[in-house]
Amino acid sequence: MPSLKTIRKRITSVKATQKITRAMKMVAGARLNRAQSRITALRPYALKVHEILEDVAAAMTERQADAEFSAAESVDALHPLLHRRAEKNVLFLVMSGDRGLCGAFNTNVNKAAERAWKEKQAEGAEVTFATAGRKGREYLTRRKGVVAKDFPRLMDGLDISKARKVGEYVTARFKRGEVDAVYIVYNEFKSAMTQKTTVELLLPPPERPAPVKETGLAPTFGFEPNERVVLERLVPMYVEISIYRALLETQAGFFGAQMTAMDSATRNAKDMIARLSLQYNRARQAAITKELMEIIGGAEALKD
């Protein structure tokens, strides 16, 4: 059995750790509240931008099928970011945390990126990565992944300008034909305890079937001044907002995972302190009993 001094040192050490984990839980909780309010406010807007782009592209595709505008004015020709090519070169934009102590948050997104990487390789595609987050970069580098670009410390003072910087990089590579598709890998925030790992196509934007005419519900669009001008504003906005949303989802998910992990660590420390205290009391009681027995034995020996 460990000595009383050893047990006391362990109790002191665990109590110090408990103070740290409790403080980290409180900090993560405060940051989570701010991050959650930001993603809750942005998410409807981001989804609506995506929906509008899908509606416009579907309507233009339908008009093209009806020969209302020429092949030179096709959806792909009107904007280079809508051009669809065989996926021979694929870029994955992997968003992770810069720090640990957040449970399986970073592990989940890293493994999802690796699975998607192997799937594309099996299909014959060349895969490169752009990373936002130190944990993702280190994971992929250890596995010999080609990290073409790293965006360090994006989560510090996160705003739309940082998302725009990432968007400019991926769109430039797509326009130059260096990559044929861009995917985002991130953790979508559901709650403080739940994050959904997502692999989402960013470029070219996912297609949606054109509205069915028979229902009479197909939307009718008028483009002012013309389709090209509308798409030149709408498509970059979609890319920028989609990246910004993924960054905010990642930030909120990280703080939620960290708060949950630190809460679990604090409770585990409390349980360990209780066990060590019980062990200490038993050892102390055994030591006192032993001393009493020695005293009584000595006294009996003197009587004899």
How far is 288 from 35, CA to CA, in rounded Å? 55
The dihedrals phi and psi of 194, each to the nearest 5 degrees, come to -130, 130
CB contact set of 179 (below 8 Å; sequence gap of 6+)? 89, 90, 91, 128, 170, 173
Residues 6+ apart with CB under 8 A from 15: 269, 273
To which H or E segment does residue 206 belong? Answer: none
CA nearest to 239, candidates 161, 152, 164, 174: 164
- Residue 263 annotated in active site: no
Residue closest to 262 by CA, chosen among 75, 24, 27, 63: 24
CB atoms within 10 A of CB 67: 8
Spot the catalytic one: 24, 57, 91, 102: 102
- Name the token pair of 293: 């027995």
CA distance 147 to 59: 38
| DSSP-derived pairing of the beta strands 181-191 and 89-95 | parallel
Backbone angles phi, psi at 280, to 5 degrees: -65, -45
- Is the CB of residue 260 less than 8 Å from the CB of residue 103? yes
Compute the distance between CA of residue 106 and CA of residue 81 in angstroms, rounded to an integer: 30
Helix intervals (H) in the chain: 4-65, 75-78, 105-122, 134-142, 160-175, 227-303
> What is the set of active-site residues?
102
